[in-house]
Amino acid sequence: MLAIGLTGAAIAFSTIVFQTLTNNRILTPSIIGLDSLYMLTQTAIIFLYGSDTLSITNKNVNFLLSIGMMKMFAFLLYHFLFRGEGRNLYFLLLIGLVFGTFFESISSFMQMLIDPNEFLIVQDRMFASFNNVQTELPLLSTAGISLSVLYFLRFARYLDVLALGKEHAVNLGVPYDYVVKRLLLIVVVFISISTALVGPITFLGLLVANVAYEFMKTFRHKPLITAAVLISIIALIGGQVLVERVFTFSTTLSVIVNFVGGVYFIYLLLKENKSW
């Protein structure tokens, strides 16, 4: 239950903040390629060292290694892209999308070359699961998320203004580049922790964020983030009940969430198309 709560809160929080920064309600933080990098890390370890290596057998080591790789990639990406003039957030998203596709291609190539028995271990990492979470991992995740939340409180007051767009935020006195860089780093920390804890859940953030928008009908981020976190936790608990009681563990939670989220994503695209 602690793992479900942490994962739901981290994904919902990061998605709301990310959509505010990009001013787009159909984008999620996974677009910058962190999920693909996580799978590349898991596949590369098994491809190079086999499934008996410490990084695979010890969940704590694997957890810290996955978080470290995702954070390092994000920090390098931000450092090189924000260093130049005229490179905005959308350029970052484009580069992240390219890298995500590149990582996914390398992962697929290595998965075709490894032993079929070891591929089953890689395949298990492709889908989020709360059934095999080690006791120590939620405690480590709680510490990381708590520190990130404390750091986020310094910038929380800017979110409502950032939702107006870059031009309005700058005119109202927000140090835009400084705040956006810090908020993006916080988003990366949350997504890295949730992905390393249970695995990738691509459409959960998109689903719960837009449901929160529809229910709350407000631009203020305090009630929006609170509602999104609660909806996310409820969705994960409901999905886990379906996995255990209805499907009797014949499928995984991420399959259910991605199916519902994918259908909802198509609905949002059609809805936006009609509005044009």
- CA atoms of 2 and 71, how far apart (whole Å): 23
- pLDDT at position 258 is 78
pLDDT mean across residues, the chain: 83
Confidence class for position 106, pLDDT limits 50, 70, 90:
very high
Q: What is the pLDDT of residues 196-230, one digit of tens each?
A: 888 888 788 888 888 898 888 888 889 999 999 99
Domains in the chain, CATH or no CATH each: 2-275 (1.10.3470.10)
Question: How many CB atoms neighbour CB 182 within 10 A?
Answer: 16
Please give the structure tokens belonging to residue 71.
Answer: 């954070």
- Answer whether residue 86 shows pLDDT above 60: no
- pLDDT at position 105 is 92
Q: What is the pLDDT of residues 115-150, one digit of tens each?
A: 888 888 888 777 777 766 767 788 888 888 999 999
pTM of the predicted model, to two decimals? 0.86
- Answer whether residue 98 shows pLDDT above 70: yes
Q: Please give the average per-residue pLDDT across 148-175, as a whole number.
A: 89
DSSP H helices, 115-175, are: 116-125, 136-152, 159-162, 166-171
Beta strands in the chain (DSSP E): none
Please give the structure tokens belonging to residue 129.
Answer: 């699961």
Q: What is the pLDDT of residues 17-58, one digit of tens each?
A: 998 988 888 888 888 888 888 888 888 888 888 777 766 667
Q: Please give the average per-residue pLDDT across 243-252, as a whole number.
A: 78
Helix axes 221-241, 253-275, angle to 10 degrees: 130
Q: What percent of the chain has pLDDT over 70?
A: 93
- CA atoms of 167 and 174, how far apart (whole Å): 10
